[in-house]
Chains A and B, each alone.
Chain A
Amino acid sequence: MAVIEIKQVAKTFGSFTALHSVDLTIADQEFMVLLGASGCGKTTLLRIIAGLETPTTGEVWIGGRRVDHLPPRERGIAMVFQNYAVFPHLTVFENIAFGLRMKKMDQAEVTRRVNRTAELMHIEQLLKRYSGELSGGQRQRVAVARALAMEPDVILMDEPLSNLDALLRLEMRAELKGVLAESKTTTIYVTHDQVEAMSLADRISVMNGGRIVQAANPVEVYRNPAARFVGSFIGNPPMNFLKAEPAGAGKWQVAGQVFDGPAAAAAEFAIRPEDLHPAEAGLPAEVRVVEPLGPHTLITASVAGQPFRAVLESNLLPAPGDMLRLAPVPDRIRWFDPATQSAL
């Protein structure tokens, strides 16, 4: 049982606040992905959970035990470091075995676990090499294997697959998910890759500027962003936003069209690019760039002078300069408060 509770954790470096009062609970055996732009505090949060950094304020609980005063080795965790930290003076085998040796595990079990995890990460042919003789991606897989070999209650992974080619990453991703589910490990996984986040996560925590903006399951995060930032960060291409003018009685005028919306003083209209289709009546869009991508066509257009993207069927190939009418799927329209940036 390893529930991780982060209670009002804040971290300042000098005068810079890297984390503002973060609250997050990760359930036992949950796969939690931390997603956010570079510098938003993902690594800092992970290092606080690991015990490599002390929070300025707040508490960290793991498995019902308060751990923020404990050294890392007493927290029952394993970690994949963003910069790998694979020991240069040890062979790949001894690197993977490092944590097991510290526990004075017997040799047969060490060999078994090292071989199993090495095989999983496809590095079994590299066991005798030193880290200086490995490529970046190989070193990264050694770092993952070293953490997996511990079979810990909690595993913290800081962009563990960032250095692999697309194909290998796809494969490793699937294997990681399988192994971690099977071993009932509670996982916190940092990534920049949205597809990776979506495919792995039970829940995604989207971070921005040292805050957790939304923590929810991937579909929820995608469909119902809790804040404008989430919509603009997740999705490729991200959500479109348009100014809306109040038209009375919960109606809003957007680029000359009228939509039902929330009862609020001000609102911003938002729609995902794939939730649009050409129609008789809709948002007037002047096509700027047309990118045929195979399965579909990506249109970059201008709606009432604001940039706007749409993902259309691939048999539709408008020319730049064309005027299109794009109708949004009604139940996919989202509204945000321009002042607080949160969803309405």
Chain B
Amino acid sequence: MPRLLPYLLLLPATAFLCLFFLYPFVQVAHDSVMRNGVYTLENFSRMAGHWKFSTAFWNTMILAAVVVPIQLAMALTMASIVTKLQRGRSTILYIFAIPLGISDLAAGLIWLSVFEQSGFLNSLLVGLGIVDRPILLLGYQNTWIIFIAIVLAEVWRATAIMMVILVAGMGLIPKEYGEAADVFGASRWQKFRRVTLPMLKPSLQTALILRVILAFEVFAVVVALGGTQLPVLMSETYHWQFAMQERGVAAAFAMVILGVSVAFTILILRLLHVPKGARV
């Protein structure tokens, strides 16, 4: 009985997960290989055959590849600074965490108000006399500006979540290791590189996995700032499901996002693996 107890206690949560997560998941997986009542891979071939697919796929990838490293670098820097603070640490954490409380659509709209034709940036440029009249920044001629705006909005919105995780992780590293590094001649950078970073691996794993998965699911910010100018996997899923009424193809997109997420999760777990015995 005592050995069964933990499983018994996990039962309600497991049942909940099965009902509301596993079931819809199986449903989607099923939909992606079902067309007109027969099992087929046609949904996938339709998806891959569409001219927007590879654009959407690569846009998503490139966006993640740009956003996540910037966020990682910023979160590490900010976390190091916050950890060193003697006082006012929690206040600063709260301030940094404010964007976390804003939904991604709202974040997209905030940045839209900066970049749109009647927006803040244009007023500023006109006011300073750099341009004569407001310019269309987020037009189809300059998708790179849309891209930059999305990167900015994403960095602004979701860096704090990584930082909070990393601050917690740094707090878990006993002070004595930093002191030993100091005594044995490590410079600040060496201490960070040779002691803090390796001991932060478990938190880095969590933060990166969370961020990378969210980056592959980027949607509202992209739609708010770019409309259909910059297709990503998630916006295509939405498009196929609701505009095209092609449930199967939308499900195929969802499976692709899932596949990519799982692959990167495994990759991150591998890369940041801490050998047994080397744990803190």
Residue A52, interface by CB 8 Å: yes
Residues 42 to 69 of chain A near chain B (Cβ within 8 Å): 50-52
Residue A178, interface by CB 8 Å: no
Known contacts: A89-B274, A89-B278. The answer to whether A72 contacts B182 by CB under 8 A is: yes
Verify B199–A132 contact, CB threshold 8 A. Answer: no
Contact with A along B177-203 (1 / 0, CB 8 A): 101111111110010001100110100
Residue B2, interface by CB 8 Å: no
Verify B184–A102 contact, CB threshold 8 A. Answer: yes
- Shortest CB distance B107–A (Å): 37
- Shortest CB distance B186–A (Å): 5
Residue B176, interface by CB 8 Å: yes
Chain B residues, CB < 8 A from A233:
none
Verify B180–A132 contact, CB threshold 8 A. Answer: no
User: Number of residues in B with C-beta < 8 Å to the partner?
Assistant: 25
Contact with A along B6-38 (1 / 0, CB 8 A): 000000000000000000000000000000000
Known contacts: A88-B280, A89-B274, A133-B277. The answer to whether A73 contacts B182 by CB under 8 A is: yes
Interface of A is mostly: mixed
Residue A229, interface by CB 8 Å: no
Verify B182–A71 contact, CB threshold 8 A. Answer: yes
Verify B186–A73 contact, CB threshold 8 A. Answer: yes
- Shortest CB distance A127–B (Å): 14
CA distance A89 to B280 in the complex (A): 7
- Shortest CB distance B275–A (Å): 7
Residue A31, interface by CB 8 Å: no
Chain B residues, CB < 8 A from A150:
184
Verify A78–B183 contact, CB threshold 8 A. Answer: yes
| Contact pick for B183, options A72, A89, A131, CB 8 Å | A72
Residue A83, interface by CB 8 Å: yes
Residue A235, interface by CB 8 Å: no
CA distance A220 to B279 in the complex (A): 48
Most buried by A among B195, B275, B278, B279: B278
Contact with A along B148-189 (1 / 0, CB 8 A): 000000000000000000000000001011011111111100
CA distance A87 to B277 in the complex (A): 11
CA distance A275 to B203 in the complex (A): 63
- Shortest CB distance A159–B (Å): 14
CA distance A87 to B187 in the complex (A): 16
Residue A4, interface by CB 8 Å: no
CA distance A146 to B276 in the complex (A): 22
A150 to chain B: closest residue by CB: B184
Verify A52–B183 contact, CB threshold 8 A. Answer: yes
CA distance A71 to B184 in the complex (A): 11
Most buried by B among A79, A89, A103, A146: A89
Residue A336, interface by CB 8 Å: no
- Shortest CB distance A5–B (Å): 20
Chain B residues, CB < 8 A from A77:
183
Residues 170 to 214 of chain A near chain B (Cβ within 8 Å): none
Contact with B along A107-142 (1 / 0, CB 8 A): 000000000000000000000011111000000000
CA distance A256 to B105 in the complex (A): 96
A89 to chain B: closest residue by CB: B198
Contact with A along B237-280 (1 / 0, CB 8 A): 00000000000000000000000000000000000001111111
Chain B residues with CB under 8 Å of chain A are: 174, 176-177, 179-187, 190, 194-195, 198-199, 201, 274-280
A-B contacts, 19 listed (Cβ < 8 Å): A51-B182, A52-B182, A72-B179, A72-B183, A73-B183, A78-B183, A79-B180, A79-B183, A81-B179, A85-B179, A85-B180, A87-B177, A87-B180, A87-B195, A88-B177, A88-B278, A89-B198, A102-B190, A103-B185
Q: A71-B182, A85-B180, A98-B194 are in contact. List 13 more A-B contacts (CB 8 A).
A: A52-B179, A77-B183, A79-B180, A83-B176, A87-B195, A98-B181, A102-B186, A102-B187, A129-B277, A130-B275, A130-B277, A132-B278, A132-B279
